[in-house]
Amino acid sequence: MACNAGSDVICEFTSPSIEDNVIAPRASRQRWIATRLYWSDMSSSVLQRNNVRQAGAGTTSMVFSHGFGCDQNMWRFVAPAFKADFKTVLFDHVGAGTSDITAYDPAKYSNLGGYADDLIEIGLELGWKEAVFVGHSVSAMIGVLASIRQPEMFGKLVLIGPSARYIDDDGYHGGFTSAQINELLEGLDDNHMGWSAAMAPAIIGNPDRPELGEELTNSFCRTDPAIALQFARTTFLSDNRADLPKVRAKTLVVQCSDDIIASDVVGEYVRDHIPGSSITYLKASGHCPNLSAPAETIAAIRAFV
């Protein structure tokens, strides 16, 4: 498979050639055709399933992975800054944006491993090697899991607003009690639209810029309510603390101020438990610096990569 790196992903599927002057035996030709169709269909379905878009002129891929209730559009102020030096890759998690919603499997996506498997499949199709992964919010742990399963695929991880576990535990501060998370999930289940309108502005912060809260609210509201509820459960009930020491990729934690989803102590826990990782503190407030402070976010990523 060959991809045009100069624009949104355009893939041409190729396979071993048969010399023009050689007539292969019928059985061999049939096997060759079947193999070609199999890989073409699988490649096409993976890229279409996650609405993959690739641009840029670099040889190393930089992959941007969005958080809960969002889609790849949330990277529109950040990803273009890296097109000159990297092959930038944007995609939607299944159930988000314009992904193939028919591919949504409640069992598969009941844990973050299902999303990590999707990420790996995309990487295999596009031939990632030593790629830079940029993951926001829950996608930070999706990237962590994928890098552990396929260490040669990811050379660097940029984790923006990460949390290894959202619920407090003995000796661990996640930022929420079990009761608070249960209340959050019940509110989402009872009134998806109302929950979105109340939570999105609080999550993004920056009350002096109400347009940011409106954009995140609209993004939340566009998500199918049943899928949003399950993704919220998968996100807020996850516990990836034991996975952090297994990461071998060079890792940067990007931490915002006044982040009600992942506070400084949460980000510092991730930093302290991924070997050799570092942390950059942004002046930006809230949980979505890719929207609220793209220039500062770009600077932090660029200094790391």
Please give the positions annotated as active site. Answer: 137, 259, 287
Coil, strand or helix: which one is 169?
A: strand
Q: What is the identity of the amino acid at 63?
A: V
DSSP designation for 22: -
Alpha helices of 134-224 — where are they, by DSSP H? 138-149, 178-190, 192-204, 210-222
Indicate if the alpha-carbon torsion angle 175, 231, 161, 220 is positive or negative.
Answer: negative
Closest by alpha carbon to 196, among 174, 220, 165?
Answer: 220
Q: How many C-beta neighbours within 10 Å does residue 258 have?
A: 12
Q: What is the CA radius of gyration of the chain?
A: 20
